[in-house]
Amino acid sequence: MQADARLQVLIEADVGQGRCGVADADACLRLLDAISGCDRLAFAGLQAYQGGVQHERSHAARRDGAARAAERAAVFVLAIEHAGQACPIVTGGGTGSAEFDLHSGVYTEVQPGSYVFMDADYGSNDWSGALRFEHSLFIAAGVMSRARPGRVVVDAGLKSVAVDSGLPRVFGREGLVYLQANDEHGIVSVDAGTAAPELADMLMLVPGHCDPTLNLYDELIGFRDGVVEAVWPVAARGMSR
């Protein structure tokens, strides 16, 4: 970096999540003042993400929550503009709210991420609106035991998949339900009338939560129509903070 570089910085505003960011316009303007007093910093705009809205199941609840977040973001923008500063970037929104954020007139960019993979938790949202995404992230789990009737055991448990947002779902196989995750084992029930998978069969699991699952893996295997087309290293592998 050049010694005379100026870093572009965003102020994070709390637009309803209660996690990080300045809570109100006064706190925002104090921070803006502090930034203006630093030669090497240039104010570039607002970071205004409301994660709590994203997983509201109903489309209407997400629409209303996204509108409240956008209104709060607009209050911060107005305060900054009244203080005589431009606010070139207003960034926020996620997979669950992007369809509303895009038309809010407040954000200059949206920041959805999970839509790329569409985990099982996101799959439970009501997607009756304008945007809809498909699952694309799967854990290939091998059947390692069928010792008991009505269930099989796969080699993907707590070390393979984050379960904070629910257990993984078995993709494309009716009658198979992932019931329980042990350290290295996953218990899958087999409904009456459903043929139990064979030993070494591979079940494709859709993780409940993609973000904390992905960094458990060294590589992503890209495949289409059953043919491997790419192997991508996971740069965030093992990064726990």
Ligand X SMILES: Cc1ncc(COP(=O)(O)O)c(C=O)c1O
Positions that interact with ligand X (CB under 6 A): 49, 51, 54, 94-96, 111-115, 211
Kindly tell me which of 65 and 112 has the beta carbon lying closer to ligand X: 112
* Minimum gap (Å) between residue 101 Cβ and ligand X: 11
Kindly tell me which of 96 and 197 has the beta carbon lying closer to ligand X: 96
* Minimum gap (Å) between residue 185 Cβ and ligand X: 28
Cα–Cα distance for residue pair 227/236, rounded to 1 Å: 25
Cα–Cα distance for residue pair 161/183, rounded to 1 Å: 10
Instruction: Please provide residue 153's backbone torsions phi and psi, each rounded to the nearest 5 degrees.
Output: -120, 130
The residue number whose beta carbon is nearest to ligand X equals 94
Question: Pairing between strand 109-110 and 89-92?
Answer: parallel
Instruction: Please provide residue 134's backbone torsions phi and psi, each rounded to the nearest 5 degrees.
Output: -110, 155
* Minimum gap (Å) between residue 230 Cβ and ligand X: 22
Considering only CA atoms, which of 93, 10, 94, 17 is closest in space to residue 46?
A: 10
Complete DSSP assignment for 79-118? HHHHTT----EEEE--TTTHHHHTTSSS-SEE---GGGT-
Kindly tell me which of 125 and 160 has the beta carbon lying closer to ligand X: 125
* Minimum gap (Å) between residue 111 Cβ and ligand X: 4
* Minimum gap (Å) between residue 147 Cβ and ligand X: 38
Kindly tell me which of 96 and 168 has the beta carbon lying closer to ligand X: 96
Cα–Cα distance for residue pair 170/10, rounded to 1 Å: 41
* Minimum gap (Å) between residue 66 Cβ and ligand X: 11
Kindly tell me which of 55 and 185 has the beta carbon lying closer to ligand X: 55
Instruction: Report the C-alpha dihedral over residues 32, 35, 37, 40, rounded to 10 degrees.
Output: -160
Instruction: Please provide residue 28's backbone torsions phi and psi, each rounded to the nearest 5 degrees.
Output: -65, -45
Kindly tell me which of 115 and 171 has the beta carbon lying closer to ligand X: 115
Q: What number of other Cβ atoms are within 10 A of residue 221's Cβ? A: 12
